[in-house]
Chains A and B, each alone.
Chain A
Amino acid sequence: MRHQNTTDHGTTAVNRLAGMRRRVVGSIAGLAGTMFLAGCATNAPQDTFQPKGPNAKIIDDLQKPVFAVAGIIGVFVTVVVIIAVFKFRDKGQPIPHQSHGNPALEITLTIIPALILTVVGVFTFRTVFDLAKTSDTEMIINVTGQQWWWEYDYPVQNEYGITQPIITSGQLVIPAGTKVLLRQTSRDVIHSYWIPALNGKRDAVPGRVHLNRIEADKPGIYAGQCTEFCGLSHANMRMEAVALSKADFAKWVANQLKPYASPAENTLAKEGETVFMNQCIRCHQVNGMKRADGTPVIAAPDENMVSGAAPNLSHLMSRNTFAGATFDLLNKSCREDVWGAESESFGAKYLGGVSEDCLNQTDLRGWLRNAPAMKPMYANPALLTSSGGKYRGMPNLGLTESDIEKLVAYLLTLK
Chain B
Amino acid sequence: MAIIERSITSTEVFSVATPSSSLGALKRPVATTGWKSWLFTVDHKKLGIMYSAAALFFFIVGGLEAVLIRLQLAAPNGKILNADLYNQMFTMHATTMVFLFVMPMAAGLANYFIPLQIGARDVAFPRINAFSFWAFLFGGLFLNLSWFLGGAADGGWFMYAPNSGPVFSPSHGIDFWVLGLQITGIASLAGAVNLITTVLNMRAPGMKLMRMPIFTWMQLVVQFLLLFAVPVITVALFLLSFQRNFGATFFDVSAGADPLLWQHLFWIFGHPEVYILILPSFGVISEVLPVFSRKPLFGYPFVVFSGAAIGFVGWGVWAHHMFASGLGPVSVAVFSISTMAIAVPTGVKIVNWTMTLWGGKLEFTAAMKFAVGLIVLFTIGGLSGVTHSVAPSDTQQTDTYYIVAHFHYVLFGGAVFGLFSGFYYWWPKVFGKLLNEKLGTWNFWLMVIGMNMTFGPMHILGLQGQPRRMYQWTEARAGEGLFNFGFWNMFASIGSIVLSIGILLFLINIVITARNGKVAPLDPWDARSLEWMTSNPPKEHNFDSIPTISHLDEFFHRKYQEDASGQMVKVKTAEQVMKELEDNADAHIHMPSPSYWPIFLAAGLPVISFGVIYSIPIAIIGGVIVLFGCYGWSIEPSTAPDDDFDPPATTKDVVHVG
Contacts and interface: CB of A to CB of B under 8 A. Distances in A.
Interface of A: 32, 35-36, 38-49, 56, 58-59, 62-63, 66-67, 70-71, 73-74, 77-78, 80-81, 84-85, 88-90, 93-103, 105-106, 109-110, 113-114, 117, 120-121, 124-125, 127-129, 131-132, 147, 188-190, 192, 194, 196, 199-203, 205-208, 210, 223, 225-235, 238, 306, 376, 383, 385-387, 392
A113 B387 contact: no
B646 interface: no
Given A44-B479, A234-B469, A62 B390 contact: yes
Give the interface size class of chain B: 35 or more
B398 A208 contact: no
A376 B294 contact: no
7 contacts: A35-B483, A44-B485, A45-B479, A110-B347, A117-B343, A125-B337, A306-B167
Given A94-B567, A121-B340, A206-B253, A100 B299 contact: yes
Contacts of A32: 456
Contact of B170 (A98, A109, A129, A383): A383
Nearest to B557: A98
A200 B397 CA distance: 8
Nearest to A62: B392
Nearest to A86: B362
Given A89-B364, A203-B326, A102 B163 contact: no
Contact of B384 (A70, A101, A208): A70
Contacts of A231: 87, 154, 163, 168-169
Nearest to A95: B568
Contacts of A199: 395
B400 A48 contact: yes
Given A40-B463, A128-B329, A206-B253, A63 B392 contact: yes
Interface string B34-62: 00000000000000000000000000000
Given A95-B294, A128-B391, A85 B362 contact: yes
Contact of A43 (B253, B343, B480): B480
Contacts of B260: 205, 208
B259 A228 contact: no
Interface in B341-370: 341, 343-344, 347-348, 350-352, 354-355, 357-364
Nearest to A376: B83
Given A89-B362, A113-B343, A196 B465 contact: yes
Contacts of B469: 229, 234-235
Contact of A232 (B84, B362, B395): B84
Contacts of B470: 225, 234-235
B324 A200 contact: yes
A128 B394 CA distance: 11
A70 B386 contact: yes
Given A78-B379, A386-B167, A42 B359 contact: no
Contact of B467 (A63, A227, A383): A227
A304 to B, nearest CB: 14
Contact of A73 (B361, B383, B479, B481): B383
B383 A70 contact: yes
A38 B491 CA distance: 15
Interface in B418-466: 456-457, 459-460, 462-466
A85 B357 contact: yes
A189 B168 contact: yes
A90 B82 CA distance: 53
B258 A77 contact: no
Contacts of A387: 167, 170
B387 A63 contact: yes
Contacts of A73: 383
B387 A106 contact: no
A283 B87 CA distance: 28
Contact of A200 (B257, B347, B395): B395
A376 B85 CA distance: 11
A227 B397 CA distance: 10
Given A129-B329, A235-B471, 14 more contacts: A42-B464, A48-B400, A85-B362, A88-B293, A120-B390, A121-B340, A124-B392, A125-B333, A129-B333, A190-B163, A200-B394, A202-B324, A223-B465, A227-B399
Nearest to B484: A42
Contacts of A90: 361-363
B478 interface: yes
Contacts of B383: 70-71, 73-74
Nearest to A118: B340
B332 interface: yes
B295 A39 contact: no
B166 interface: yes
A229 B158 CA distance: 10
